[in-house]
Amino acid sequence: MKVAECFVLGLALLGGIEAAPVVEKVDPPNWWVGHTWNPIQVLLTGRDLKGAAVTSESSSLQVEVRRGSDDGRHLFVYVHIRSEARPGRYQFHLATSSGRTGFDLTLDPPIDRRGRFQGFGPGDVIYLLMADRFANGDPSNDSPPEFGQPADRSSPNAYHGGDFRGIRGRLDYLKDLGVTGIWMLPSYRNSTRHASPAHGYHTVDFYAVEPRFGTMQDFRDLVDSAHRLGIKVMQDQVANHCGPHHPWVEAPPTPTWFHDLSVLPRLRNNFDIAALADPYARPRRRSIPLRGWFAGHLPDFDQTDPLVSGYLIQNAIWWIGMSGIDGMRQDTYPYVDRPFWEKWKEAIDRQFPGFFVVGEITARTPAVLSFFEGGARRDGIDTKLDTMLDFPLHRAIRSVFAQNGPLNELADVLAQDSLYRRPEWLVPFLGNHDGARFLAVAGGDISRLLMAQAFLLTTRGIPHLYYGDEIAMGKEDAGGRRSVRADFPGGFPGDPVDAFAPHGRTGDSAVVFQALRSLLHLRRSHPALRRGKLTHLLVEKDRYAYLRSAPEERVLVVLDRTPAGPIDIEVDDIPLRDGLRFRSFPEGQHEVTVTGGRLRIIPSESIMIYVARQ
């Protein structure tokens, strides 16, 4: 190096000369022409971007620099895409007093809506799975060398190797089972050289796919393949927080990107959801769940910062458009300011009418849960949220079926459905990735699981199942959580048992699978179970009977945990014609006939289902 060059380099290192700007990352990397979200927010990440001017040579793009971070690491550029813009790769020029650089942004053709963005409804059954633990279709992405953390199936916290191609290869299994939709945990890039949990909630890049799962093309191929089989796809998204190793934690794009980033110890979320619905709660009580960091270490976004809210809204829309998914489960929904949700859902609905969003709100009671349902203005805000996971009914299901609580607990929760605008859109479930499996809680007793699944698939709502419950996973895990995120047997090379195939399902696994498959196909064949009116006929500690009524048919469900004699039910106040015959499911059991305004049921099983044509 020449002496003059050494002198210039030395001045630059000492701060005597400003360094030329560098663009390292462009969020988003692409957008679409003819889109309803316009202008788009382009967040540049790099070095020495402070005070930069940005221009485009294209007259179809209007560029405005809104804000740059004081450390020169981030620059917010807004690009208005005019109606005459055409698809293509557009170049932008960035200049500061110390130099110039550039970056590209691709504009794609308008999104093809055919067969995509279908939404979900009461006719669907959703199957929740973890990509990493379901099936490994591409072993080459198990251990990316840049992360220094090889897949390790012996560790419950490590990645195991499941991926999008693995799920795609098992779609026929899900189709045969009878589900109509799958829900996957987050697909954002989660891996770093730090230990990163395989569940996907520690995001480090919101505009990248987790490389251990595959590429964006792999994701799209999975969605397209599912759609060809009549299976919808739901993606898990997170707008409340990012992972602790996201680069923003060290260099936030704005001073208010996170809540209380500089405060130690971190304000910890206390999950006081009831405070958010309580009209009499004091401000400090409401502040903690909104500003607190999840588990004390997941950085909490401040959505009152318009640059934050713009980023998160746009990112949600980008994932929908890129993947073609039909719905979304929004994680940790209540811990975000409600005005943000209204703007967020309005933007999604403009571009994707009918798109389905279910919120995770772990409320204990219907009174609290119903506060978050969209369609009504509370405190001047309508979140427009389509529906919620039905945690109150979930708790009752566990209490009743897994722990032998009284059956009337179910009716007590359902009796509060008048608090909701659309209770038939709630999403009830037996278990998920955040708690012990149902069978683990039930002490491995499959009779309890079978009755719980029968109730889930015959009551109101959009039921969701958890992967592996259909093959009795958790049976040997009484009271524990070892099985909650276990690998699906047969999904990984070298597995001694393949539960995806009939020969790999024996004993209790085969019994539970066949019973659930039969229920799913029954539900799909009978509109009364999907959209029929629910009427309680008998509610007792150990006996529960209810009717699902549609214009073309009635379905009678009886759950009986007693060895007692016949069940007599008066139905003279219900428009059931005398002589109406209910045939059993499965066939071969006695029929039930309406006689003199009464039903007499001779118990033969603990689960009895009957169908009558009107």
**Strand ranges (E), 143-204:** 181-184, 188-189
Rg (CA), the chain: 27
Give residues with Cβ within 8 angstroms of 131, minimum separation 6. Answer: 162, 163, 164, 166, 167, 184, 185, 187, 200, 210, 213
Known catalytic membership, residue 172: no
Q: What is the side-by-side order of every strand in the sheet holding 61-68? A: 22-27, 40-47, 74-81, 61-68
Per annotation, catalytic residue among 331, 417, 470, 560: 331
Catalytic-labelled residue, pool 142, 163, 326, 360: 360
User: Side chain identity at 495, as an amino acid letter?
Assistant: D
Token readout for 113 is 């809506």
Say how far apart CA 149 and CA 159 lie, in whole Å.
Answer: 8
**Over the range 125-164, which residues count as b (16 or more CB within 10 Å of their CB) and which as e?**
bbbbbbbbbbbbbbeebbebeebebebebeebebbbbbbb
360 catalytic? Reply is yes
DSSP state of 177: H
Q: Is 232 in contact with 326 (CB distance < 8 Å)?
A: yes
Return the structure tokens found at 377.
Answer: 């203005």
Q: Please say whether the beta carbons of 324 and 116 come within 8 A.
A: yes
Q: What is the largest distance, in Å, between two alpha-carbon atoms of the chain? A: 108
Residues linked to residue 104 through DSSP beta bridges, in sequence order: 91
Bond from prior residue into 28 cis (ω within 30 degrees of 0): yes
Bond from prior residue into 603 cis (ω within 30 degrees of 0): no
What is residue 554's DSSP assignment? E
Q: What gap in Å lies between CA 175 and CA 524, rounded to an integer? A: 12
Would you state the structure tokens that stand for residue 363, as one six-digit string?
């409320």
CA 258/CA 189 separation, integer angstroms: 20
The neighbour count for residue 448, using CB atoms within 10 Å, is: 21
Half-sphere exposure for 248 (CA within 13 Å, toward CB): 28
Question: Which DSSP helix (H) or strand (E) runs through 518?
Answer: helix 508-525
The span from the CA of 99 to the CA of 590, in Å, is: 86
Say whether 599 sits in a helix, a strand or coil.
strand
HEC string of 269-301 equals CCCCHHHHHCCCCCHHHHHHHHHCEECCCECEE
Structure-token pair, residue 374: 């969209």
- Separation of alpha carbons 600 and 198, rounded Å: 52
Residues contacting residue 60 through CB under 8 Å, at least 6 positions apart: 81, 82, 84, 85, 86
- Residues assigned a catalytic role: 331, 360
